[in-house]
Structure 1
Amino acid sequence: MDIIDLGMGNPDGATPQPVVEAAIAAIQNPANHGYPPFMGTASFRHSITAWYQHRYGVALDPEGEALPLLGSKEGLTHLALAYVNPGDLVLVPSPAYPAHFRGPMIAGARIHNLILKPENDWLIDLAAIPDAVAEAAKILYFNYPSNPTAATAPRGVFPGDCRLCPQVRDSVGS
């Protein structure tokens, strides 16, 4: 039976042989033994900020505005733990990547589910969010390509008059 797993997206197949060979070579290199610095290496942080400058035209300070993470789950969960207070309202798509609701749950947030529907191409219907909910929300989680639906959002999905996300609108243009 072919089952679609809407979980964390863990691999369900063998790692490709070139990746296995590269991993073995890296493990055998003594320069890679031990833990990296907590903040990551300076060259890695500089690479992160150079990529953001190239891709988005955003200048970031590699010493204070770039922090490597173990993965998106860690970053999303810690975002909620750092920013959300007990009782704050967080908007979460449903279905969602588990870190979108688990981090806020741990932080004590109230979660308002934004039901994603196939007839809306699995996109968040911003217009359907009640004004009181939109005004009270501290975070709106959205991710495209979406995990777990695989939906993609066209650039214009967030309208120029978006009451929820002027910072998003300003960063991507109208």
Structure 2
Amino acid sequence: MQKLSKREMKLFGSKTPREYIDNSLKVSLKPAEKAKITRLWLQKTRFTIEDIQHARNIHPYWKKKKMEGSYERNESRKISHDYTQFGTVEWNEDSIKEFIDLNQKDKSGRYIHKDHELAKHFHSTIPGIQHYRRKYNMAVKLLQKEKKSITTKRISDLITQSEQILRRMLKKHKK
């Protein structure tokens, strides 16, 4: 291994991913130099890139950076994915069952269909789809707490309730 500069050693000498993120913000190195040190540091410490990413995600500086412009991004996303001008969905038994069928997750726990895809399909908005996803998730939790099998019919019956009623029902089961 080649000799490292004092700045590179400060970064390389980090003990934890959190300390590594702190030091990477303090030292002024070019991105290529940081990448090289990161690779060496990961080999030395046996931490993973996921550990560094986690430390970065919870670091106050990066949290603040991520949040900059988030309101504007969300607003433009809502506007660009507002499909109500093509007609509005009638949330009846059939459309709710179709929503339940399309509201599935993959093995890693991510939704197969993104919010905007469902909004387009149902001529709805992203907040409208998120509302139904929250109700769906509460219905599933409720059925699990009641130790009942999770069927489309049972979820459909619960989804027709308001979000507030579902929250109250969940609270009762927590006691």
Answer whether TM exceeds 0.5 for this pair: no
**TM-score (structure 1 length as normaliser):** 0.21
TM-score, length of structure 2 as denominator length: 0.21
